[in-house]
C-alpha cells in the first residue's frame, strides 16, 4: 500500500474509531501513525486498540507506527459552592490551598508548587485562557489576583501559568504508570506533555530504556525558549498548537511553527504539526477553507506529519477527515511551488560522511532517471538523513528491525520495508532492487540509488552509495567484486 504523498498522517483513536473495521478503514484512507491518547480511556481500552492495530499490520503486511501520548500534569482549580462563579474585570480574586468550596472571591488551587514559583505580575490563565488573572501579591499558600479578563469560572477548570518555570516534573504518577504500560505493550513513539527543559525528556528516556522513541510536545513558552536543547534530547517533536496558543498570543504561533519545523528538519528529526487542523470535521463531512489552508501550510513548510485529534477520535466523520487530509497532501505536493519551497528551505551544514552520502544520493536521483533512494538502516539514522534532504523520488527504508520500520513510518517520504539481515553490500543491492519492484516503485528496466553502512549492523556507519539496475542479472553483471 504505497502512499502517493510524502507527508505522514497521524490519526488519534477514540470512541469513534475503536473497532477493527474503522481502524483498518482509517489506515487504508491514509493514516500512517495511530495515536493513543492516554488522557482518555483505561489501560484495557488502550491495550485493545493496540492489539487491533497490530492485527491490521499483520493482515496487510505493512509496518504501522503507534504513538502513545502521555497526559502530563494537569493543573486545575477546585470546586465552587454553586458549581461556578462569575468574575468581573477589575475585581480581586484569590487562589489558595483551602479546600473549602469557592465563590466569586476565591477558590482552591491545590498546587503549592505554583505558589512557590509565582512572581508578582505573573499571569494565570483559566479555562483555556478564557479567564486571565494577574498576580498582585502571593505567598506559600495563596495568590491575590486582579481579574484582567472576566467570565464564568467553574469546577475543576484547567490553569495555565505561562510566565514562570514551574518546579513540576513532566511525568506525573499517572504518566509513569501509563509509560510503563504502553512500553510493555510495544508502542513505537512516546509523546511527552508539559516539557519545559531537556531533563524532562531525559527522565522519560531513562524510564523507556530504549523500548520507544521519545517525542517532545512543544506547548509551553519555556519549551520554545529551550527548544534547541530539548530537540537535542528528543527523537522527535510535536508542535502542540492548542496549549501553545493559550499560553502565548495566538499571532505568535504561526512563526514559531515555521521556525520549529525548520530546526527539526536541520536536525533530521521528525516533527508533527497538531491541534485543530480539521476541527470542523468533528461535526461536518467537509472542512472549512481556512482549515484546508492550515493543513496545506504545514505541508509547504516541510513538516514530517500532520495530526488529527478529536476529528478521528470522537468525531462523526473520522474516515472522511483522513481522506480529506490525504487529498490535500497529494494536491499540495503535486504543485510546482511546493518543490520550489522545499528546495529553497534546504540548508544546514554537511559535517559527516553520512551527510555527504545522502546529499549525493538526492542530487543523483534528481539529475538522472532514478526511481527511488533505497537506504539500509538499523537504527533509522540513515533514513532520517535521507528524509532531511526531501528528495523528489520515493525513499525506501530497508531494515531487518521491525521496531525501526515502525518508527520510521512517522518520517517524511518514508516507505518502510522489513527485509532479512545482510552481510554483503551486493545482498543489500539485490534486496533493494527486489523491494523497489515488489512495492511497485520501479520495474526491471529502471535504476535506483542504494546507500548503506559497511560493515553492516553498526549504527551510524553510512559510507557507501551505488547506482544500481533493478534487474538482478544486471546487478551481478555490473558488480565490481
Q: What integer pLDDT is reported at residue 455 of this predicted model?
A: 81
Q: Which residue has the cell 528529526?
A: 269
Q: Of the listed 132, 241, 275, 390, which one is catalytic?
A: 275
Task: Confirm if 430 and 475 have CB atoms less than 8 A apart.
Answer: yes
Q: Of the listed 62, 217, 362, 390, which one is catalytic?
A: 217
Question: Left, alpha or beta for 378 (phi > 0: left; psi -120 to 50: alpha)?
Answer: alpha
Task: Give exposure, 259-290, as e/b (b: 16+ Cβ within 10 Å).
Answer: ebbbbbbebbbbbbbbbbbbbbbbeeeebeee
Domain span(s) for CATH 3.20.20.60 in the chain? 8-72+170-334
Task: Confirm if 429 and 475 have CB atoms less than 8 A apart.
Answer: yes
Q: How far apart are CA 418 and CA 413, in angstroms?
A: 16
The reply to whether the predicted model has a pTM over 0.85 is yes
Q: Mutual orientation of helices 43-60 and 173-185 as an angle, nearest 10°? A: 30
Distances 321 to 11, 44, 132, 241, 333 between C-alpha atoms, Å: 9, 26, 34, 19, 18
Distances 374 to 268, 393, 403, 452 between C-alpha atoms, Å: 17, 10, 18, 9
Q: Which residue has the cell 511553527?
A: 257
Q: Of the listed 76, 94, 262, 263, which one is catalytic?
A: 76
Angle at 274 between CA 199 and CA 344, to 5 degrees: 90
Could you tell me the end-to-end alpha-carbon distance of the chain, in angstroms, rounded to an integer?
A: 35
Domain span(s) for CATH 2.40.33.10 in the chain? 84-160
- Given the candidates 3.40.1380.20, 3.40.630.30, 3.40.50.150, 3.40.50.1950, the CATH classification of the domain at 353-478 is 3.40.1380.20
User: 35 an active-site residue?
Assistant: yes
Domain span(s) for CATH 3.40.1380.20 in the chain? 353-478
**Dihedral, CA of residue 152, residue 156, residue 161 and residue 167, to nearest 10:** 160
- How many CB atoms neighbour CB 206 within 10 A? 8
Task: Give exposure, 372-384, as e/b (b: 16+ Cβ within 10 Å).
Answer: bbbbbbbebbbbb
Among the listed residues 7, 13, 15, the one whose alpha carbon sits nearest the alpha carbon of residue 187: 13
Cell of 140: 506559600
User: 275 an active-site residue?
Assistant: yes
Q: Which residue has the cell 500512517?
A: 32
Q: Of the listed 5, 35, 62, 205, which one is catalytic?
A: 35
- How many CB atoms neighbour CB 124 within 10 A? 24
Q: Are strands 189-192 and 159-160 parallel, antiparallel or unpaired?
A: unpaired
Contacts for 18 with CB less than 8 Å, ≥ 6 apart: 45, 48, 49, 52
Q: How far apart are CA 226 and CA 234, in angstroms?
A: 12
Q: Are strands 305-308 and 271-274 parallel, antiparallel or unpaired?
A: parallel
Q: How far apart are CA 240 and CA 423, in angstroms?
A: 42
Q: Which residue has the cell 475503536?
A: 18
Q: How far apart are CA 169 and CA 195, in angstroms?
A: 8
CATH superfamily of the domain spanning 8-72+170-334:
Phosphoenolpyruvate-binding domains (3.20.20.60)
Q: What integer pLDDT is reported at residue 72 of this predicted model?
A: 94
User: 217 an active-site residue?
Assistant: yes
Contacts for 421 with CB less than 8 Å, ≥ 6 apart: 400, 456, 457
Q: How far apart are CA 333 and CA 452, in angstroms?
A: 28
Q: What integer pLDDT is reported at residue 432 of this predicted model?
A: 95
Q: What integer pLDDT is reported at residue 1 of this predicted model?
A: 75
Cα–chain-centroid distance for residue 71? Answer: 15
Cell of 289: 477553507
Task: Confirm if 125 and 246 have CB atoms less than 8 A apart.
Answer: yes
| E strand or H helix that includes residue 404 | helix 402-407
**Backbone phi, then psi, for 426, in 5-degree steps?**
-60, -40
Q: What integer pLDDT is reported at residue 480 of this predicted model?
A: 55
Class of domain 84-160: mainly beta
| pLDDT digit string (tens) for the chain, length 481 residues | 789 999 999 999 999 999 999 999 999 999 999 999 999 989 999 999 999 999 999 999 999 999 999 999 999 999 999 999 999 999 999 999 999 999 999 999 999 999 999 999 999 999 989 999 999 999 999 999 999 999 999 999 999 999 888 988 899 999 999 999 999 999 999 999 999 999 999 999 999 999 999 999 999 999 999 999 999 999 999 999 999 999 999 999 999 999 999 999 999 999 999 999 999 999 999 999 999 999 999 999 999 999 999 999 999 999 999 999 999 999 999 999 999 999 998 876 677 899 999 999 999 999 999 999 999 998 999 999 999 999 999 999 999 999 999 999 999 999 999 998 888 888 999 999 999 999 999 999 999 999 988 888 777 678 899 999 998 776 666 665 4
User: 390 an active-site residue?
Assistant: no
Amino acid at each position: 500500500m504505497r502512499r502517493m504523498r510524502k507527508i505522514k498522517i497521524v490519526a488519534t483513536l477514540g470512541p469513534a474509531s475503536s473497532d477493527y473495521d474503522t481502524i483498518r478503514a482509517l489506515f487504508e484512507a491514509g493514516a500512517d501513525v495511530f495515536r493513543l491518547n492516554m488522557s482518555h480511556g483505561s489501560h484495557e481500552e488502550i491495550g485493545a486498540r493496540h492489539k487491533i492495530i497490530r492485527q491490521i499490520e499483520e493482515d496487510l503486511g505493512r509496518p504501522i507506527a503507534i504513538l502513545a501520548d502521555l497526559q502530563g500534569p494537569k493543573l486545575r482549580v477546585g470546586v465552587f459552592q454553586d458549581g461556578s462563579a462569575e468574575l468581573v474585570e477589575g475585581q480581586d480574586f484569590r487562589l489558595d490551598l483551602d479546600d473549602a468550596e469557592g465563590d466569586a472571591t476565591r477558590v482552591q488551587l491545590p498546587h503549592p508548587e505554583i505558589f512557590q514559583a509565582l512572581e508578582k505580575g505573573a499571569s494565570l490563565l483559566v479555562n483555556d485562557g478564557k479567564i486571565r488573572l494577574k498576580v498582585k501579591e502571593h505567598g506559600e499558600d495563596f495568590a491575590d489576583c486582579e481579574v484582567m479578563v472576566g467570565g464564568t469560572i467553574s469546577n475543576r477548570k484547567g490553569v495555565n501559568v505561562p510566565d514562570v518555570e514551574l518546579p513540576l516534573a513532566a511525568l506525573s504518577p499517572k504518566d509513569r504508570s501509563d509509560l510503563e504500560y504502553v512500553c510493555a505493550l510495544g508502542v513505537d513513539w512516546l509523546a511527552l506533555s508539559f516539557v519545559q527543559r531537556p531533563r524532562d525528556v531525559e527522565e522519560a528516556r531513562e524510564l523507556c530504556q530504549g523500548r520507544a522513541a521519545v517525542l517532545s510536545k512543544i506547548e509551553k513558552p519555556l519549551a520554545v525558549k529551550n527548544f534547541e536543547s530539548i530537540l537535542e534530547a528528543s527523537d522527535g517533536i510535536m508542535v502542540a498548537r492548542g496549549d501553545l496558543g493559550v499560553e502565548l498570543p495566538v499571532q505568535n504561533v504561526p512563526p514559531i511553527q515555521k521556525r520549529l519545523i525548520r530546526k527539526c528538519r536541520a536536525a533530521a528529526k521528525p516533527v508533527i504539526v497538531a491541534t485543530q487542523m480539521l476541527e470542523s470535521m468533528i461535526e461536518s463531512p467537509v472542512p472549512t477553507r481556512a482549515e484546508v489552508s492550515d493543513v496545506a501550510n504545514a505541508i509547504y513548510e516541510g513538516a514530517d506529519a500532520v495530526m488529527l485529534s478529536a476529528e478521528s477520535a470522537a468525531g462523526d466523520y473520522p474516515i472522511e477527515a483522513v481522506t480529506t487530509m490525504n487529498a490535500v497532501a497529494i494536491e499540495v505536493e503535486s504543485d510546482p511551488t511546493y518543490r520550489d519551497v522545499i528546495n529553497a528551505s534546504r540548508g544546514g551544514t554537511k559535517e559527516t560522511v553520512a551527510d555527504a552520502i545522502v546529499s549525493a544520493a538526492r542530487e543523483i536521483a534528481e539529475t538522472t532517471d532514478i526511481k527511488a533512494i533505497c537506504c539500509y538502516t538499523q537504527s533509522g539514522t540513515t533514513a532520517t538523513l535521507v528524509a532531511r534532504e526531501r528528495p523528489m523520488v520515493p525513499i525506501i527504508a530497508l531494515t531487518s528491525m521491525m521496531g525501526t520500520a515502525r518508527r520510521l513510518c512517522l518520517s517524511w517520504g518514508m516507505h518502510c520495508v522489513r527485509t532479512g539481515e545482510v552481510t554483503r553490500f551486493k545482498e543489500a543491492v539485490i534486496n533493494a532492487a527486489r523491494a523497489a519492484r515488489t512495492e511497485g516503485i520501479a520495474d526491471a528496466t529502471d535504476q535506483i540509488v542504494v546507500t548503506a553502512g559497511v560493515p553492516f549492523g553498526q549504527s551510524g556507519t553510512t559510507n557507501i552509495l551505488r547506482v544500481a539496475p533493478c534487474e538482478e542479472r544486471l546487478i551481478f553483471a555490473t558488480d565490481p567484486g
